[in-house]
Structure 1
Amino acid sequence: MGRKAVDIATKRTIILLRDSGMSQYEIFRKLNISRHCIGHTISKFNKLHTVTTKPGAGRRSKLTDCQKLTIKLQQVIFTDESNFEILNRKNRIYIRRFRNDLKRFERSQSRVHKGPIVFYNGSLHSDEYIDILGKHLPTAFEKFVSQPSRKILLQQDNARPYVSNKTRKYLKKKTSSYSMASK
Structure 2
Amino acid sequence: MTTPSPERAFLPINIAVLTVSDSRSLAEDRSGDILVERIALAGHRVAVRSIVQDERAQIVAQLRTWIQDAGVDVVISTGGTGLTGRDVTVEAHRDVYEKEIDAFGTVFTMVSMAKIGTSAVQSRATGGVAGGTYLFALPGSPGACKDAWDEILVHQLDYRHRPCNFIEILPRLSEHQRRK
Asked if TM exceeds 0.5, the reply is no
Q: Which has the larger radius of gyration?
A: 1
* Relative contact order higher in (CA < 8 Å, ≥ 6 apart): 2
Q: TM-score, normalised by structure 1?
A: 0.32
